Amino acid sequence: RVAPPRSTPFTFQPNTNLTLKMAVLLGMGNPLLDISAVVPTEFLDKYDLKLNNAVLAEEKHAPMYDDMVKNFDVEYIAGGATQNSIRVAQWMLGAPKSAAYMGCVGKDAFADEMVKCCEAEGVHVNYMVDEATPTGTCGVLVNGGERSLCAALNAANNYKIAHLEKPENWKLVEDAKFYYSAGFFLTVSPDSMLKVAKHAAEQGKTYTMNLSAPFLMEVPPFKSAMMECMPYVDVLFGNESEAATFAKSEGWDTTDVKEIACKASTLPKAEGAKPGRLVVFTQGMDPTIVAKDGAVLGEFPVIPLAPEKLVDTNGAGDAFVGGFLSQFVKGAELETCVKAGNYGANAIIQQSGCKFPPVCDFA
């Protein structure tokens, strides 16, 4: 068993200078408690893990979590890609309960820790509880400031559309104007994603999704589920390696991120959905590429950071999405949205894990 959480969430301090012009942002995904530690290369090799990659835990990874707790100074942080993005968006929006989140957890100390953390930060969490299965965890193995993720979904893998369809939960969907899911949720409840995506299209709302990890495009059932949602996706996020894998899975003979972004932006949209698709691809320290209607709208530089200030890249992509959406839901200009994304990512990589300062001073 993994030791119970030791971390204490910070006190939420709303930024009253920001006024939310639109209704709530709703995220749906896999809530995981991150178990984070700095590890040597030998430890990564022991469990066949690579930096800058994310995998689902296999049998060979089962002892890893206890191994981390016994041998390293571990930290426990509320995580899961979508939940991270929603937490960052809430932090930057300021007004409590501007952002909401759904997913499945167990009935245990790990779930209690995540509820406590998210509520302290102002996020409206609405978890489905599976009393028979432990809360999901994600090993975050940090080496040289870069990270490898290994997720044991556990209860997160058991989210059911029946929870979404309960009137009190569906009301969150009806109240929201913007929706976000990381691609990881495609492995769990693609029917829930599709139902919300179709609702967004029918009601003139905005559905956003992330490519999230190369394996989602390399495993046929997951890629199929992704492409079923794609006609409803109004904003598509990803990074350069995910873009390259997506292009390969589509049979596109290119590795040029700008060209891939343009091609992805012109994939068919569903009848009745809003026309056009914004594609936003980050590239680590290189400029972020944004495309729509087959054309590059801009290349936006990241915020420079001295190497000695880089602590941990875990959650940087999630934080970029959260920052971007915090301004996008308010109708901000594209440049402002990307700046907010870069601000969120820059704040997170100076912390251990997906954490941020108590007060957001983005302006």
What angle in degrees, to the nearest 10, is found between the helix axes of 334-348 and 81-93?
110
- Which residues does residue 27 pair with via DSSP β-bridges, in sequence order? 101, 180
- Spatial contact of 141 and 166, defined as CB atoms under 8 Å apart: no
As a whole number of angstroms, the distance between CA 255 and CA 269 comes to: 24
Count of CB atoms situated within 10 Å of the CB of 95: 15
Q: Are strands 99-106 and 206-210 parallel, antiparallel or unpaired?
A: unpaired
3-class DSSP state for residue 75?
strand
* DSSP-assigned letters across all residues of 132-189: TSPPEEEEEEEETTEEEEEEE-GGGGG--HHHHHSHHHHHHHHH-SEEEEEGGGGGT-
Distance between CA 161 and CA 173 in Å, rounded? 13
Is 139:35 a contact under the CB 8 Å cutoff?
yes
Pull the structure tokens for residue 192.
């829930």
Catalytic residues: 318
Q: Contact 101/125 with Cβ under 8 angstroms?
A: yes
Burial class (CB in 10 A: 0-12, 13-18, 19+), 336: middle
Strand, coil or helix: 82:
helix
